[in-house]
Amino acid sequence: MTVKSTTPFSVKAVMIDLDGTMLDTIPDLAAAVNTMLKALGQPSLDESLIRTFVGKGIHNLIERSLTGRMDGVPEKALFDRALPLYENAYTALNGRHTTMYSGVLEGLNELRARGFPLVCVTNKSARFTLPLLEYVGLASYFKAVVAGDTLAQRKPHPAPLLYACEQLGVEPSFMLMVGDSLNDAQAARAAGCPIFCVNYGYNEGQDVSQLDVDAIVGSLVEVSARITRHDSVC
């Protein structure tokens, strides 16, 4: 259930998801998927379908794309052929067709101006995350980046969020997570962090209004308007 209270949340720092929250990376992901499928002699998929497959990392995206189903499991030999094809294609395309969502730059600037340390917490592997943040000009906003392979666990496991809290020395109850999906909501609840979700993004094609979050916002600018800076922030 979404909390309807408009009382500002008192937080010390903010964690922000990448794909579907700050950046629309689907055009790059879809192009890489279809490059992979073409190399395998399989028909291409519509970008709208691939959009619903995004949300639980590369392996799930490839499995779903090879089978055309959310719960699809391809033969191991086919997956093993597909994985390097996809990774090579995405490495070449990373950021080229990506767009930044409205309000992201303004929201990040406002959060930084108000003294909130920022961390990017994503399930995207570091070899793709770090170049992408540099390419779109967002790298300098973040005190730390927790990628999908920084730890053994990824969202919805709470470990990446708790690790981000440790990196900044912030208690989970004062570390806001901003995301776009069930992964983000479950990770935040398990970690004991407040959670806002944007009303756009991916969430595997599901409606974010059904998620257990503290607020649903229309942009990162709205995030800044919904929080206050805890007195003990340095």
The set of catalytic residues is 17
Nearest to 124 by CA among 143, 158, 154, 147: 147
Could you write out the three-class secondary structure of the chain?
A: CCCCCCCCEEECEEEECCECCCEECHHHHHHHHHHHHHHCCCCCCCHHHHHHHCCCHHHHHHHHHHHCCCCCCCCHHHHHHHHHHHHHHHHHHCCCCCEECCCHHHHHHHHHHCCCCEEEECCCCHHHHHHHHHHHCCHHHCCEEECCCCCCCCCCCCHHHHHHHHHHCCCHHHEEEEECCHHHHHHHHHHCCCEEEECCCCHHHCCHHHCCCCEEECCHHHHHHCEEECCCCC
For residue 11, the cross-strand partners are 229
In the numeric block, which tokens belong to residue 223?
A: 């995030």
Cβ proximity of 158 and 191 under 8 Å: yes
